Amino acid sequence: MPKIRQKARSGERARSIYELKVTLIDSRPPIWRRVQVESGVTLDRLHHTLQTVMGWSDSHMHGFRVRQLSQPGSRPRWLSVESADEKTTRLSDLLRRARDWCVYDYDFGDGWEHQLLLEEILARVPSARYPAVRAGRGACPPEDVGGLPGYYHFLEVMNDTRHPEHEDMREWAGGKFDPSAFDAHEINRAFHGGWAPRRPDA
């Protein structure tokens, strides 16, 4: 498997903040988060950040993939970052300019694919703490629900009290499940032990 090339990083980019939009690919309506992270964060640390950002439990394998275009008009190749290289590969090695994106895979059985889209490169705010979630939409699906097809079946059953699987599914889920639930403040509290950034409209 080809390795990701680690280019020399400019000092400005290494000290900057990346605003990412993290979207669960093919989710409808989209389940997404907007999060600010240090551009120089290593992929092993970014993995743990993404687990908290989305709401996963880090109980399955994961990986990162990036598109590589070899020649104009050719189909892109997908290069995977070896797990052993995640401690030395930085986010800025994968994403270098606005609109660049890569894929974060979680749970190869259920196949949760997340697009990490670099929306904006920002200057660090000295008083801010990172990572910081700015916005988002939709609850994280339950672990081991069976990927997106299983998740939509789960929602159908949970919303139909007459469905023969309703009670068993409800018990498996631990009670009610709100697919619209999202709380940026609580996620930031998990990152920083009670501190959370103000909302942009605050």
| Cα gap 158→165, rounded to integer Å | 8
| Cα gap 107→63, rounded to integer Å | 9
Per cent of the chain over pLDDT 70 is: 86
The H or E element spanning position 39 is none
Query: Per CATH, which fold does 11-138+182-192 belong to?
Result: 3.10.290
The residue ranges of every structural domain in the chain are: 11-138+182-192, 140-179
State pLDDT tens for residues 62-81: 999 998 766 666 677 888 99
Q: For residue 58, how many other CB atoms are within 10 A of its CB?
A: 12
3 state SS of 184? helix
The answer to whether residues 121 and 73 touch, using CB atoms and an 8 Å cutoff, is: no
Tell if the pTM clears 0.85, that is, is over it.
Answer: yes
**Model pLDDT, residue 164:** 95
Mean pLDDT of the chain: 89
Which residues lie below 8 Å from residue 16, measured CB to CB, with a gap of 6+?
39, 121, 122, 123, 124
